[in-house]
Structure 1
Amino acid sequence: MILESAILYVKPELQEQFEKDFQIAGQYISSINGYIRHSLSKCIEQPNKYLLLVEWETLEDHTIGFRESPQYLEWKKLLHHYYDPFPIVEHYTNIISNNNS
C-alpha cells in the first residue's frame, strides 16, 4: 500500500466552496483502479490548510492510473484553482504499524 499526502493551502475566501467541491471530486478519484480510500482534514491552527491522504495499492495507480485519466482532468478542473501555492504531493510506504487500541 502507498500513502499519498498533500498539504493543501486553500485561498481563505474560498474554503467553504472548496469543501463542497471536494466532496464532489471524491467520485473521480474513488473510481480509479487501485484506489483504496482517502481523507481530507482541516488544520485547527491554520483554517485554510488541509491535509489530503490517499491510499493506493501501488504508486503507479496514482501517478499513471489517476494522473493520466479523464477523471483527473475533471478533478483538476474542479479543484486546482483553489490552491495557493500549488501543493507538493509525496508518497510513502509503511515500514512500522502499531494497531494496538
Structure 2
Amino acid sequence: MILEAVMLQVKEGMETEYEEAFRDASEIISSMKGYISHQLQRCMEVEGKYLLLVQWETLEDHTIGFRQSNEYQQWKKKLHHLYDPFPIVEHFEQVQLY
C-alpha cells in the first residue's frame, strides 16, 4: 500500500465551492482500481489550506491507472481551477519498525 499526500492551497474565498466540488469528485476517485481510501483535512491555522491523503494498493494504481484515465480528466475539471499554487503530489510507503 502507498499513501498519496497532497498539500492544497485553495484560492481565497473559494473554500466552500472547493469542499462541495471535492464531495462530488470523491465519487470519481473512489471508483478507481486500486483505490483504498481517502480523506481531506482542513487546516485550522491557514485559511484555504487542505491536506489530501489517499491510500492506493500500488503506486501505479495512482500514477497510471488514475492519472492516465478519462476519470482523471473529470477530476481535473472539477477541482484544478480552484488551486493556487498548483499542488505537489508525493507518495509514501510505510516504514517497518522492528
| In 1: Cα distance, 2:85 partner to 2:20 partner | 20
| In 2: Cα distance, 1:31 partner to 1:71 partner | 9
Q: Which residue of 2 aligns with 1:29?
A: 29
Structure 1 residue 14, shift from structure 2 partner: 0.6
Q: Which residue of 1 aligns with 2:68?
A: 68
Deviations 1:19-40 (A, max 9, x none): 0000000011011100000000
Q: Which residue of 1 aligns with 2:20?
A: 20
- Report whether the alignment pairs 1:83 with 2:83: yes
| In 2: Cα distance, 1:73 partner to 1:17 partner | 19
| TM-score, with length taken from structure 1 | 0.93
RMSD: 0.9
The one-letter code of the counterpart of 1:37 is S
Give the ranges of 4+ consecutive aligned residues of structure 1 lying more than 3 Å apart after TM superposition.
none
Q: Which residue of 1 aligns with 2:43?
A: 43
- Structure 1 residues 95 and 32, CA, compared in 2 at 3 Å: closer, same or farther? same
Q: Residue 20 of structure 2 aligns to a residue in which SS?
A: helix
| In 2: Cα distance, 1:31 partner to 1:87 partner | 22
- Report whether the alignment pairs 1:6 with 2:6: yes
Deviations 1:42-93 (A, max 9, x none): 0000021000000000000000000011110000000000000000000000
| In 1: Cα distance, 2:96 partner to 2:9 partner | 29
The one-letter code of the counterpart of 2:44 is I
| TM-score, with length taken from structure 2 | 0.96
Structure 1 residue 13, shift from structure 2 partner: 1.1
Q: Which runs of 5+ in 2 are unaligned?
A: none
